[in-house]
Amino acid sequence: MNAPATHTIDVPLGARSYAVHIGSGLLDDHARWRQAIRGRHVLVISNTTVAPLYLDRVAKGLDGLQWDSFLLDDGEAHKTFANVERALAALAKLGATRDACIIALGGGVVGDLAGFTAACWMRGIDFIQLPTTLLAMVDSSVGGKTGVNLPAGKNLVGAFHQPRGVFADIGTLATLPEREFRAGLAEVVKGAAIGDAEFFAWLETRADALAKRDPAAVAEAIARKVAYKAGVVARDETEQGERALLNLGHTFGHALETAGRYATLLHGEAVAVGMVLAAQLSQQLGMGTLDDTLRLQRLLDTLGLPTDVPPGMDPQQLLALMRLDKKNTAGTLRLILWRGIGRAQIVSGVAEDAVLGVLDAAI
């Protein structure tokens, strides 16, 4: 079939506005992404899996610039401060000035770390996102949340720093492993579950097509999720209110990822399980219904995502990790729960006993 046409979705943020371009072959459309580079110095940050696949195609667009690459080892465990320091050293070696640009070529790990490095170098330089995972295309490349993990928890250090542009070449998904593709679908379901019941129903009808990577269904799902997220980010760039909704499933999910030392669940998988736990907690607090929890579980299941807590998790350890979540205030848990599909809510002062009750029942 023909490649789906390019979609362009604006993220309107005043002086920090940019566009998200989604289409096939965008890595080779050098003229499109190169206009976002203002200076002479470029550092491409990627990893040891993605660079051998795609760095050559990006390099062809860097003719005439002074550029270098910095490659992370692969995996969430490498989204660390130590690697930010190494990336900053690579910028120093390049002699990068304030008009330098970082190109993030890879998934969310590369994008988050590259964006944070850009936020730090000389107090902030440009970066562009060339996302190569479904998760990065639908979520992490958009919205300017950048950062790294600490041993104490996920994303505990970071900055809001918007990219100059996002160029999602959906052709790169051809090499993405099945499990990673499915993990990306979890963040698509999340957007619909938060605030778009009609999108959720569409996902239910297209679940089989999406699981089989039907190109038209995949392109539409990406564009719809990005448009949804762009709207939220435009209204609340730095998460003073509404943007916290994008964290549905993440208070539980981040705790599961950290407790498993990033070796048990992928981020998207942890979000899938976390959304189910949030739905169960909503039920327990008299907010959501069993019917909606089951609809969520069924959709995630059809998409090949986990919905159960993996064996070996300790409820008390998970609760302790949840206490360090960035949404909390002054000793109270603040979670994203829902009243049903498409009706997520920020709930402050959630009782720890209620959280433990849900975790005990699930483990």
Ligand X SMILES: O=C(O)C(=O)C[C@@H](O)[C@H](O)[C@H](O)COP(=O)(O)O
Q: Is 247 a catalytic residue?
A: yes
Q: Sketch the per residue contact string, 176 through 205, with ligand X: x for CB under 6 A, - otherwise.
A: -----------x------------------
Half-sphere exposure of 271 (CA within 13 A, CB side): 22
User: Contact between 143 and ligand X (CB under 6 A)?
Assistant: yes
Report the C-alpha gap between 272 and 256 in whole angstroms. 11
For 325-352, the DSSP string reads -TT-BTTBEEEEEESSTT-EEEEEEE-H
* Least distance in angstroms from the C-beta of 283 to ligand NAD: 26
**What's the min distance (Å) between Cβ of 147 and ligand NAD?**
7
Q: Is 41 among the residues known to form the active site?
A: no
Enumerate residues 298-357 that contact ligand X by CB under 6 A: 326
Residue 71 touching ligand X (CB under 6 A): no
Q: Is 123 a catalytic residue?
A: yes
* 161 part of the active site: no
As a whole number of angstroms, the distance between CA 96 and CA 122 comes to: 9
Determine the Cα–Cα distance for residues 167 and 170; give it in Å rounded to an integer.
Answer: 9
Work out whether 145 is an interface residue with ligand NAD (CB under 6 A). Answer: yes
Contact by Cβ (8 Å): 193, 200: yes
Q: Does 295 bind ligand NAD (CB under 6 A)?
A: no
The smaller minimum CB distance to ligand NAD, of residues 117 and 132, is found at: 132
Residues 7, 41, 83, 187: which is the catalytic one? 187
What are residue 69's DSSP bridge partners? Answer: 44
Q: How far is the CB of 290 from ligand NAD (least distance, A)?
A: 28
User: Contact between 140 and ligand NAD (CB under 6 A)?
Assistant: yes
CB 79 within 8 A of CB 157: no
> What is 121-189 written as a DSSP string?
GGG--EEEEEE-SHHIIIIITSS-EEEEEETTEEEEEEEE---SEEEEEGGGGGGS-HHHHHHHHHHHH
Sheet holding 126-131, edge to edge: 7-11, 18-23, 165-169, 126-131, 101-106, 41-47, 66-72
Member of 161, 182, 224, 243 binding ligand X (CB under 6 A): 243
Residue 299 binding partner per list ligand NAD, ligand X, none, with a CB distance cut-off of 5 to 8 Å that depends on partner kind: none
Q: Specify the DSSP class assigned to residue 2.
A: P
Residue of 190, 229, 237, 269 marked catalytic: 229
Q: Which does 196 bind (CB under 5 to 8 A by kind): ligand X, ligand NAD, none?
A: none
Contact range with ligand X by CB under 6 A, out of 33-41, 88-96, 241-249, 355-363: 241-249
When asked if residue 306 is in the footprint of ligand NAD (CB under 6 A), the reply is no
Q: Please say which residue, 251 or 283, places its beta carbon nearer to ligand NAD.
A: 251
For CA atoms 278, 281, 282, 283, the dihedral sign is positive
Asked whether 28 and 170 are in contact (CB, 8 A), the reply is no
Q: Is 239 a catalytic residue?
A: yes
Q: Which does 250 bind (CB under 5 to 8 A by kind): ligand NAD, ligand X, none?
A: ligand X
Binding-site entries: 74-79, 108-112, 132-133, 145, 154, 172-175, 187, 250, 267
Active site residues: 123, 145, 187, 229, 239, 243, 247, 250, 254, 267
Binding site for ligand X (CB under 6 A): 139, 143, 145, 155, 187, 239, 243, 246-247, 250, 326
